[in-house]
Structure 1
Amino acid sequence: MSSHIIFGAGLIGGFLGGIFTSLGQDTRLVCRPQTQKKLANGLRLTDYHKNEVNIPKLYFIDSEIPPATDNNMHCRFLWITVKCTAIQKVSNDIKPFVGPNTIILCCQNGLGSEQIIKEHFPNNQILRVMVPFNVAEPAPGHLHRGSEGTLHIETSVEQPEVITELVEVLDSKMLPVKETKAMLELQWAKLQLNLGNSVNALADIPVKNMLQQRGYRLVIAALMKELLKVTDSLEIQLPKLTSLPARYLPLILSLPNFLFNLVANKMLAIDPTVRTSMWWDLSQGKNTEIDYLNGAIIKAAQKHEIACPANTRIIQLIKESEIANASSLPRKRIEATTLLKEIA
């Protein structure tokens, strides 16, 4: 039995798998053949603090060969690191790796995708994981963590000692890890930060460059204000994930550039090449996770009769970009002033 299987080892999954391996954990990666080829000679991991670790050898489970159905393929911890849009298919693909004692850890952005896994595996523990940072691929075989944040694992009600021990093993310099009993609140707080994903995808520029332009920040602030109306209605208090409290983020983002640069220096302390996962999805012609991000806000807002025009319009613009991708039409970058008018 492998201790860890990372299913969908792309950027985030590859980074986690590399860290786990560097910590001496028995870890296997399930990934696309082209990803396995890039990692055939090992993996270099770096972060924005200039930390570095090199893993000379990774271990894979071939995704193109149907796995055996015996217990040898079962693992203790199965980490699902695919996008929300792939969860339905993955719920069938992971069956050979799930035994009666397997704990399944869902690392998706947004809200609600873990329910699909729970429906397929009602007898297993399904725990949510909040991954707060971005990972980029500067070169084949090199993954770079470009932003701050602590990975949080949901506390297990059935076996709390198991997750406590897991956190103690994994918590490290390049991967800070904690457990939490307040995962729903954390997910909403992460969702607030993820509202920059769609704006970055439409802006078609690196995140740092986007945040340096007040027009784009005003768009993100408008999206966040709508989210805060929804969380107020749900009586959810958002925890602090960054150096700034969640409720103050729209105000800080709305500041003129010279003031923003003074008070939000940590927000800008990110790798200048980092782009969001939604940008990568559109760039690679894939459908995005917009329904699980901004769409989750709309879904909750409708139940409480809260209008969210900014998020509604952003969803429409992302959907239009997805349609353009499907039709092989050229991608259009939306300038800050234009995007601000779109949501007004």
Structure 2
Amino acid sequence: MKISIIGSGAMGSLFGGKLAQAGEKVILYDVYKEHVNAVNREGLSIEDAGTGDITVVHPEASAEPESVAESDVLIIFVKSTTTEEVAAQFKAFARPHTIVLTLQNGLGNDEILRRHFGSERTAVGVTSQGATFLGPGKIRHAGKGPTHISMADGREEKLAALAEALSRAGFETHISAEVTSLVWSKLIINIGINALTALLNVKNGRLLEFEDVKAIMADLVNEALAVASRKNIRLIYDDPLATVYDVAMKTASNTSSMLQDFQRNRQTEIDFINGAIVKEAKKLGMPVPVNETITRLVRTLDTLHSQKGDQQ
């Protein structure tokens, strides 16, 4: 089975590297040529945050879109802000049987993929794995947790081979029929963690050290839960806030993707996370003041970072 990772930053490299180590044919596609060259030259270094052990694996890396042709699976790990562009670009390389799986953060990526690839080829997933990009050819595996995947057309048997490959690679993987539940369940975790780590410039675990921050996490999560409840969305866990706290604890050493965006002066996915709740709440006529405030703050910092980048 040929598995291509589209967007091989921290998380894409983690999944691609582990799959390659498990014996799968893997292509790490990314536009960051320094990273691509480092992986091809020296291999991909994966540091275990818990033990400090370093494993070097040797997936193939490429900055050429054509390299993913004839793939059985495309796993999308690009920023949500570029999903539309990437889907349009890589549609030409997908075969009739190719599964296109989103493991991205946020709400709305699956809709984009369905529009370009059709429900029969689109898969939706969420993962509690965490990774930090350390530099070209180097990542840290900073958090471990289950991965849930689902076919958009409900034909879960299409995912059996991929689920087996992910399990062999060391990822606890479950096939689920609850697409909407999966996406919203991961969304609420990200809502409670990502933006706050970015605004406070702290790793996930430090959020739990401050009662005021834990209270804000609760406000963010409870607003999102109210929206989900109004939309009759069932989550995959029984106690959402406890789950958010637990994920923050289990990924304590992880630098969230949004904080990594801040550190690199890149646009964040805020409109697909907290901003998505604001958008859904407005449709329902519901107030979500804490999520709206957080969204406005991050958007403003996105603008400031962009201006800083333009001046350099």
Which segment is superposed worse, 14-23 or 44-53?
44-53
Distance apart, 1:155 and its partner CA: 3.9
Structure 1 unaligned segments of length 5 or more: list them.
254-263, 330-344
Residue 232 in structure 1 maps to residue 233 in structure 2: no
Tell me the secondary structure at the aligned position of residue 78 of structure 1.
strand
Output the TM-score relative to the length of structure 2: 0.88
The whole-number CA distance in structure 2 between the counterparts of 1:295 and 1:218 is: 19
Q: Does 1:245 align with 2:225?
A: no
Is the contact between residue 194 and residue 293 of structure 1 (CA under 8 Å) also seen in structure 2? yes
Name the structure 2 match of 1:36: 36
Gaps of 5+ in 2: none
In structure 2, C-alpha distance between the alignment counterparts of 1:248 and 1:14, rounded to whole Å: 29
Separation of aligned partners in 2, 1:13 and 1:120: 21
Query: Separation in 2 of the partners of 1:305 and 1:6?
Result: 39
Partner amino acid for 1:99?
R
Distance 1:85 1:38 in 2: 26
Question: Structure 1 residues 75 and 248, CA, compared in 2 at 3 Å: closer, same or farther?
Answer: closer
1:45 shift after superposition: 2.6
Contact 2:122 2:151 in 1 (8 A): no
Query: Could you say what secondary structure the match of 1:60 adopts?
Result: strand
Asked whether the equivalents of residues 44 and 52 of structure 1 are also in contact (C-alpha less than 8 Å), the reply is no
Query: Could you tell which deviates more after superposition, 144-153 or 17-26?
Result: 144-153
Aligned to 1:327: 307
What is the aligned length? 306
The one-letter code of the counterpart of 2:20 is T
2:62 maps to: 61
SS in 2 for 1:45: strand
Contact 1:171 1:178 in 2 (8 A): no
| Deviation readout 1:77-127 (Å, 9 max, x if unpaired) | 111110100112102321342112211111211111222222222375111
Partner SS, residue 327 of structure 1: helix
Distance 1:201 1:123 in 2: 34
Residues 244-323 of structure 1: matches in 2 within 5 Å? Answer: 245-246=239-240, 248=242, 267-272=248-253, 274-323=254-303
Measure the CA separation in 2 of the matches of 1:247 and 1:23: 35
Alpha-carbon shift at residue 164 of structure 1 (Å): 2.0
Contact 1:228 1:247 in 2 (8 A): no
User: Which structure shows the bigger proportion of residues in helix conformation?
Assistant: 2
The ranges of structure 1 where at least 4 consecutive aligned residues each deviate by more than 4 angstroms after the TM superposition are: 156-159, 247-250
